Amino acid sequence: MRKAVYPGSFDPLTLGHLDIIRRAAKNFDELIVSVVRNPSKNPLFSIEERVAIIKNATKDLPNVSVDHFEGLLTHYVESVGASIIVKGLRAITDFEYEFQMALMNRKLNEEIDTMFLMTRNKYSYLSSSMVKEVYRLGGDVSCLVTEYVLSKLSEKIIQVDNS
């Protein structure tokens, strides 16, 4: 059984992420989309909210499950019995960083490979950070995220602004 992990912060999930998920899911018996808890970041959405958003977006993909983890990615990949890490690439700058990470992960566990998927051109500029910034400044992000994410962004921004 070919099992892979697609890790990320997904804060929030974008159509670029969803495109990578759908394309990766075609190549594996099981794809685990796993939200990374990164203590150096201050996410807008909680881990639980991000997991729920991804579950909503992937409910039509029977071989995709959603999870979360903290710590070393290689330890997590081992713990779920996967052998492939899926990474989406938007630009050369992504490749340089992700290539270094793939080499480090390979050093930590030679049994784990990294598979890179190039983003579609229409998502090459897209990032979760950009979506949040444009939305906060009153821009239309409806072509960058699902309707569900858009509704959650609206709820969350109102919550944050009122606190």
Q: Once rounded to an integer, what is the mean pLDDT over residues 74-100?
A: 93
Task: Name the residues annotated as catalytic.
Answer: 17, 41, 90, 128
* Non-local CB neighbours of 106 within 8 Å, separated by 6+ positions: 112, 113, 114
- 85: containing domain: 3-162
In the chain, DSSP assigns E strands to 3-8, 30-36, 64-69, 84-89, 113-118
How many Å apart are CA 68 and CA 53, to the nearest integer? Answer: 13
For residue 43, say if its preceding peptide bond is cis, omega within 30 degrees of 0: no
pLDDT reading at 162 higher than 70: no
80 C-beta neighbours (distance < 10 Å), count: 15
Run of H or E residues at 48: helix 47-57
Look up residue 132 and give its two tokens. Answer: 């949040």
Cα separations (Å) of 126 from 88, 100, 133?
A: 12, 22, 12
Residue appearing with tokens 């990474």: 87
pLDDT reading at 163 higher than 80: no
How many Å apart are CA 29 and CA 87, to the nearest integer? Answer: 17
* Non-local CB neighbours of 30 within 8 Å, separated by 6+ positions: 1, 2, 3, 4, 63, 64, 65, 82
Which comes out higher in pLDDT, residue 126 or 38?
Answer: 126
pLDDT tens digits, one per residue of 116-132: 999 999 999 999 999 99
Task: Tell me how many domains the chain contains.
Answer: 1
CATH number of domain containing 92: 3.40.50.620
